[in-house]
Amino acid sequence: MRKLSVIAFVLFLPLLLLALIQLNDTLNDPGVTVYNYVKKADRNMTPSVDHTQFEILQQPFEDAHKVTAACLSCHTNRHEEIMATSHWRWQRDEVLEGRGIIPLGKKNILNNFCIGIAGSEATCTRCHIGYGWVDQSFDFKEPTNVDCLICHDKTGTYQKEKGNGGYPKASVDLNYVSTHVGSPGRDNCGVCHFWGGGGNNVKHGDLEISLLDCTLEVDVHMATEGENMSCVDCHVTEKHQMAGKLYALSSENKSRATCEQCHTNKPHNDKIIDDHNLRVACQTCHIPVYAKVNDTKMYWDWSSAGELDEHGEAFHEPDVDGNHKYMSIKGTFVWANHVIPEYYWFNGIADHQLISDQIDTIPVQMNRLMGSYRDKGLFQESEQPSKIWPVKVHRGKQIYDMVNNTLVQPKLWAKEKGKNAFWLDFDWDASVKEGMAYLELPYSGEYGFVETEMYWPLNHMVSPASQSLKCIDCHTRNNSRLANLNDFYLPGRDTNWQVEASGITLIILSLIGVIIHAIFRVIFRRRYFLSKKFKEGNES
């Protein structure tokens, strides 16, 4: 017996050890360890200079250009950095798989929200970091065209005017703003990135005004009660070049802002979960839902746009939650909150449906995310394996050229009626003619509406660890989050019916055999003993 227990002990020593190690891990959980990041509490947050004391800023600025000139008089040649960024150029040279280098960006890419900026620049460029971009004649080389204040204003009073090419409102006190500047906060970035597409949270779903003051449940990084991080804490910036971009406009797997830059690719102190990171993006588990506070736009049908009320005026109707359900200028919308993402394989490379491209899939994929299970990286096609990503898919119907089979650019906006802008004249044909002529592209004159999809990989609204996805959310036969990602075998979700059928048949057959055999034994034994007793009785 003693020998036995010794052997048992030796055998289970490794198991015991394993259990102890795991126990130790849970007891000594050090919390979240981050790298390449200095906590705000450990930083000197006082500005190094006081801009109110600079003489050059003590002037009533006639116009915004003069402010920029003043900035550049000390911050010499900073405009050169700005002018190299896509925030300024609204395009960058991107390699599209199999198509070579194409300059792409907001300047020329179409989306399935407000479609595109061409012909309507004066209103769209309210979100451009410059002054005066109203048409193609804008001078991208003029240093004083740069708008420093939109990003560096710390007063919250700096606002750009509608439809005026990015100039500030006349009410803005330029002297006050220019003397109160600093590193961009969430409000600076948010004024454009929260409001893209014509309203709060229309586009991203995970970027919206609630992030200006939110709880840990909404976003662990930006929560006011938490680390209260600014955008640029993750979107690390050097010489005005910000890390990170969105695949609505980008195509290449480069200069991305990643979770790994602070958290490493093995942050869990747990091998099985860390291993998932090989093929599953952090975001997939840690952003279980998006649009956690305000609604985001899920569907935009342009084909119903243009209805006017009895006075011939444009109108709009709210839905029960107060969001626009219908707008004469834009069509029909569907909004949603607490949306469960859709999941796609993604290797960091995206393709785009350019205005010159033939439509070959319906729905049209505006920015197809590349990747598949088989794209494993390492020794295979791409450098990085495709990972499963959570994506907001924005679906819609938008105008296209039925003869040339391409998407088209209608002119949407103008200062006044009669310029063939759809939002004022409500004439699709005229607005497309105008828009396509502006781009010097062909238009057959026959338009229709085609279904489109646009993909927005999610990165923000990271939930606390306790609310991240659990194994069973994906590894389950019913209602798996990955139910639609079918190009691979997922344990717990997938079975092969032949394997199951033959296995279960085997079990049933063996059970039947065993039961029949047992019954026979009982019957025959009894008969045998009875006959034996009978014989014995006879003999005596």
Partner 1 sequence: MKKVYLYKGFERFWHWTQAFLIFFLMLTGFEIHGSYNLIGYENAVRWHDDAGWALLILMIFASFWHVTTGEWKQYIPTAKNVRAQMEYYLTGIFRNAPHPTGKRILSKLNPIQRLVYFALTIIVIPVMVISGFTYLYFNYPIQGFALDSLEPVAFIHTIGAYILITFVIIHLYLITTGHTITSNLVAMITGWEKMDEEEAQVAVEDVIESTKRHYVKQINGDKKKKAKKNKNTDSELK
Residues that bind partner 1 (CB under 8 A): 1, 3-4, 7-8, 11-12, 14-15, 18-19, 22, 272, 275, 278-279, 373-374, 376, 378-380, 470-472, 475-477, 488-489, 491-496, 499-500, 502-504, 506-507, 509-511, 513-514, 517-518, 520-521, 524-525, 528
Cβ closest to partner 1, residue 140 vs residue 524: 524
Minimum distance, C-beta of residue 472 to partner 1, in the bound complex (Å): 5
> Tokens standing for 365?
């994929």
- Residue closer to partner 1 by CB (options 360, 379) is 379
Q: Which is nearer to partner 1, 24 or 255 (CB)?
A: 24
Residues 6+ apart with CB under 8 A from 194: 200, 201, 204, 207, 208, 209, 211
Helix intervals (H) in 2-161: 2-27, 64-74, 78-83, 86-89, 121-124, 149-152
Least distance from partner 1 to the Cβ atom of residue 29, Å: 16
Considering beta carbons, is residue 403 or 509 the nearer one to partner 1? 509
Nearest to partner 1 of 258, 372 (CB atom): 372
Task: Write down the least CB distance from residue 529 to partner 1, Å.
Answer: 8
Instruction: Please say which residue, 49 or 518, places its beta carbon nearer to partner 1.
Output: 518
Q: Which is nearer to partner 1, 45 or 272 (CB)?
A: 272
Which one, 32 or 278, has the nearer CB to partner 1?
A: 278
Nearest CA to 122 among 130, 112, 113, 132?
132
Cβ proximity of 291 and 338 under 8 Å: yes
Indicate the DSSP class of residue 451.
E
Cβ of residue 477: shortest distance to partner 1, in angstroms?
5
**In whole angstroms, how close is the CB of 465 to partner 1 at the nearest point?**
14
Shortest Å distance, C-beta 103 to partner 1: 37
3-state secondary structure 369-388: ECCCCCCCCCCCCCCCCCEE
If you write DSSP's letter for every residue of 297-346 in order, what string do you get? EEEEEGGGTT---TTS---EEE-TTSSEEEETTTEEEEEESSBPPEEEEE
- Within 10 angstroms of residue 322's Cβ, the number of other Cβ atoms is 9
Using the structure block, give the residue that is written with the tokens 């003590």: 58
Smallest distance, partner 1 to C-beta of residue 303, A = 42
Cα Rg of the chain (Å, integer):
32
d(CA 222, CA 216): 8
Instruction: Output the smallest distance, CB 345 to partner 1, in A.
Output: 14
Question: Contact, 146 vs 439, CB < 8 A?
Answer: no
